[in-house]
Structure 1
């Protein structure tokens, strides 16, 4: 077997290819990396891949981008992680910037409105399909199902913040494994505690002591923490000092820096949190525009969390100050990208060596499995939020047992959107149609409604 580390140039080509082809949301992106890095290249073994994925799912931010950064770091250290993470984001960010500008200038045109009607309906079907797909992988027993249901009730009914739900699920998995290991067994689910996996190049090199940068080192961890905190927060603080605490730049930098720390579960889970703050708190955009943004993000390569770039673009575009609106929007989008993805490198470069050292810890594995189950409940909450705003023209607040819940006004049901969403769900679930063809169908179906207007 070949035990030579691939050259940096060879890895660069692979990461560029992954960045250009990573359509289909986190599940599709993870599947693409698995096929290329585990099956084709055999750079990393199955168990180490799943262990890295479990850690990335526990982190705030986009798990697929962080997984690419993690594997790039395993191969070539910090420079490998930087290249893998940046190339995973860059193609989609460029496309998203162009689409955000087009949307900001022309979204009031009837043709664009009709097109987005179809796209939003398909996005609803995509989110439902994601729940089913992730649920099949994560909900292996009654305990996992119970955690998912509890997470849904916690976030939708009780309005418990995302971080508390994720941390609570992790704690339940950790403690539960000690008292009921059969119900909270994380070993098999995530590949920890299993027999050593020696099928990947990285696995053999680590076992042979060749990849020394993967070893734990407290001084190195502290250096990485200091450097990346400065890289991440330095520009944000500089903008705040230069523009004042109440400028749109301070609001964007501050809000998305906090978001980068407290939002878990990837793009699907983060949207409800961002939508509430961006729509109701800052008034940057309207509820249906959040769904429009996700529809745009679904059509680009790279992480779906690029929808946040869309939010930053509109926020700055609509309050440009003395700048040209398109320039302001571009700078707003760039600031969101910075505050969203700079922390991702911090989590990996500081934490990955310690995560590697915990591969055989079954309690950690059980905690990660519980977090994955909770994420299913969080995404179910997002699906319900989408359904309310895509299928119905109006919602109302309902009081129940002292709680205030959002419910649809049934008479405002949009039959066309419901029909497109149903057709998209059948196409994806029954006929296995891919994300891009389904989105194209939705866009054409939406445009077709102009013929009957």
Structure 2
């Protein structure tokens, strides 16, 4: 296949995911696994796990960065940018349109029934990915213990990045000491300098200042996109640029639009500076992720070749699966609270785990339709 054909393929795959990827990072990664590993076999499941583990160690939105890694694997550096932009674009476009309606008319569409139906379907998709990735990650009983410890830590409220790093370090050290022969070790670590911009009270916020504010947040944001809201509260609400109600509306937009939840930046950018504020906030938020992935991707095969880093990556991988499981448990307890959501989850299980596999895209659509129909039922 020619390079242009590969780029076109990458664009179509991730644009489609960007249109239907509801449910947060864990769901996005599950849907990606189905598309690029199970269906198209762009890479092995082992390598996909390595990419997940590495992505969890750098700032930025995990699922968006995974699209970039997958694009790079399929079509090189151009594929990295094509995949990331294709995945982000639907969410940014929809969010920008909703921001325009909100700022000019003060209203948002009623989408709660659709989201109520999508959420149980997403839970089943995440469960399917956990089973497949877990089989590859659990290479021995020691890794299983690390996974259990990280799962417990996550459920007890330990930050997911802290749990991942501790799991990776403990596992890497254990397996390195256990091995009889020392392999290649990392001789030096080049520090990654993160852009940092001094916060200031922005009375009249301009396009450049919007860009720098979101560039700062995008450069230091660790964990899932939901951590973004704590940063935005400190950067914007505390300085009087947004009210709590406006931030909550922006969070709602990020929840029910497909693709990365960080498209919330697009909505807030429009609130602060209109069209160009929207563009500046979006560019500032996502630019660091492109740079981080571009820098990191070439080193992942070398990490696997190094004995000590290979042990570390194995441990981080199983920890990442454990974190996904913790997300599934937490989301299930908050979602499966009535007969409608339980029924949609059961139907989704039949679709995802049944003898005839159904595309996860159709599972999402099915959930949305059943959620909408559920509002008309009297009980």
State the TM-score, normalizing by the size of structure 2: 0.72
Is 1:337 the counterpart of 2:286 in the alignment? yes
Out of 202, 220, 229, the residue aligned to residue 258 of structure 1 is: 220
Quickly say closer, same or farther: Cα 1:449–1:69, change in 2 above 3 A: closer
Q: Does 1:418 align with 2:342?
A: yes
When residues 307 and 38 of structure 1 are mapped into structure 2, their CA distance, relative to the original with a 3 A threshold, is same
Q: 1:316 aligns with which of 255, 266, 269?
A: 269
| Counterpart check, 1:380 vs 2:325 | yes
Instruction: Tell me how far apart the structure 2 counterparts of residues 148 and 384 of structure 1 sit (CA, whole Å).
Output: 15
Partner of 1:84: 79
C-alpha contact 1:65 1:85 (8 A) present in aligned 2: yes
Seen in structure 2, the aligned counterparts of structure 1 residues 103 and 65 have a Cα distance that, compared at 3 Å, is same
Query: How far off its partner does 1:35 sit?
Result: 7.9
Decide which of 175, 178, 191 is 1:177's aligned counterpart. 175
Shift in Å at residue 153 of structure 1?
Answer: 1.9
1:80-131 Cα distance to aligned partner (Å, 9 max, x none): 42x1211111222222222224555488444x32222212232222223222
Task: Provide closer, same or farther for how the CA distance between residues 439 and 426 of structure 1 changes in structure 2, counting only shifts above 3 A.
Answer: same
- Contact 2:265 / 2:278 at 8 angstroms: preserved in 1? yes
Runs (5+) with no aligned partner, structure 1: 1-5, 193-215, 264-269, 298-305, 392-412
In structure 2, the partner of 1:208 is none
What are the equivalent positions in structure 2 for 1:169-248 lying under 5 Å apart? 169-181=167-179, 233=195, 243=205
Distance 2:48 2:33 in 1: 10
Q: Distance in 2 between matches of 1:145 and 1:126?
A: 22
The corresponding residue for 2:353 is 429
CA shift for structure 1 position 420: 1.6
Distance 1:128 1:27, change over 3 A: closer
Q: Verify the 8 A CA contact 2:211 2:281 in the aligned structure 1.
A: yes
Q: Is the 8 A contact 1:51 1:359 kept in 2?
A: no
The one of 371, 383, 392 equivalent to 2:316 is 371
Q: Pick the structure with greater CA Rg.
A: 1
Q: TM-score, normalised by structure 1?
A: 0.61
The answer to whether the 8 A contact 1:252-1:336 is kept is yes
Q: Indicate if the aligned counterparts of 1:288 and 1:390 stay in contact, CA closer than 8 A.
A: no
SS of equivalent to 1:428: helix
Indicate conservation of the 8 Å contact 1:169/1:371, yes or no: yes
What CA distance in whole angstroms lies between the structure 2 residues aligned with 1:272 and 1:288? 11
- Structure 2: gaps spanning 5 or more residues: 22-27, 238-243
Q: How many angstroms does 1:445 deviate by?
A: 0.8
Structure 1 residues 358 and 131, CA gap change in structure 2 (3 angstroms): closer
Q: What is the CA-CA distance between 1:29 and the residue it aligns to? A: 3.7
- Contact conserved, 1:272 with 1:382, CA < 8 A, in 2? no
